[in-house]
Amino acid sequence: MATVSVLDFHAHFPARDAGDRVREEYVARHGEAKWRIVSGWLRADQAAWRRAWGFSDPEPPGPDEEMADRWAGEVARHRLRRVVFVTGGGNDRLARAVARHPDKFVGFAHHDPFRPDAARELERAVGTLGLRGYKLIAPLLHGRLDDERLSPLWETAERLGIPVLIHFGPLRYQGIVSHPNMSPLVLQDVARAHPGIPFVIPHFGCGYPRELLHLAWVCGNIHVDTSGSNEWMRWMPYPLTLPGLFRMFLETVGPARIVFGTDSSWFPRGFAVRYLEDQLRACYGIGCNEEAVRAIFAGNAERLLRLPASEAAET
């Protein structure tokens, strides 16, 4: 594998007892017995997915200090520039974990944008807690992203100059495939109204690559992250491949708006080096030059996070 500096822009801190809002809302509406049935479908699907990829079953998360130290070990072992935790059991909790290894971690705020104090909380998360971005899961929200109520939040994010990462597309393990925020096109008016916010859409659009390409084509502040297995390619009515995805997005937005991520979280898997290897192979296979590879796998993330540029490090 080639020598290249790597910054993982998309991981999740494994916070114990972080809560499961999807489960709580389903049980409140339909009851525990039905939840056991539908969650059984999802558990079986997860188990089959892990077998296909050769991943061990997740261990229950330990104390936050232990998880932070284990993740710091992953950063050192794989010689990563840093890991960005986009969620982690709440802003204060994640900030404490990041502060334990500030040379290895970056954290994002991830509170509900529809809470009455959402803009103030984002200001606090960045200005006081030291978090460097904002993460949302659009299909879990109780309102559209282009709702006027969110204008103060977007204005705050733009003034702070932070990246905002928003998941669109199906939430496979929450059982959500239909929602007003399912397609990234709902972000069009917000992105055009706030050109100072670098919006980052993960997983190549997660089932909505055409819509993301359209959005990125007209909005120069739309970026794409490459994270995860991108297994959603199997659900599409036309064939897609990882090299093909890279080629389409490189041709549409260029290498400066693509950022590498893994969607890593749990142990014993830790850093999903398999995804790094597959994505590097895809980029080199379609003829990416070294400058483009450096930008995708670390440089663009460093710029978005306002970190000093790194030197190449052997992966």
pLDDT digits (tens, 9 = 90+) for 105-120: 999 999 999 999 999 9
Tally of structural domains, the chain: 1
Q: Within a domain: residue 311?
A: no
| Interacting residues of 37 by C-beta distance below 8 A, sequence separation 6+ | none
CATH number of the domain bearing residue 220:
3.20.20.140
Q: Within a domain: residue 100?
A: yes
* Domain containing residue 199: 8-305
How many other CB atoms are there within 10 angstroms of residue 63's CB atom? Answer: 9
Q: Within a domain: residue 315?
A: no
Predicted TM-score of the model (pTM): 0.95
Q: Within a domain: residue 137?
A: yes
Of the chain, the percentage scoring pLDDT greater than 70 comes to 97
pLDDT digits (tens, 9 = 90+) for 54-75: 999 999 999 999 999 999 999 9
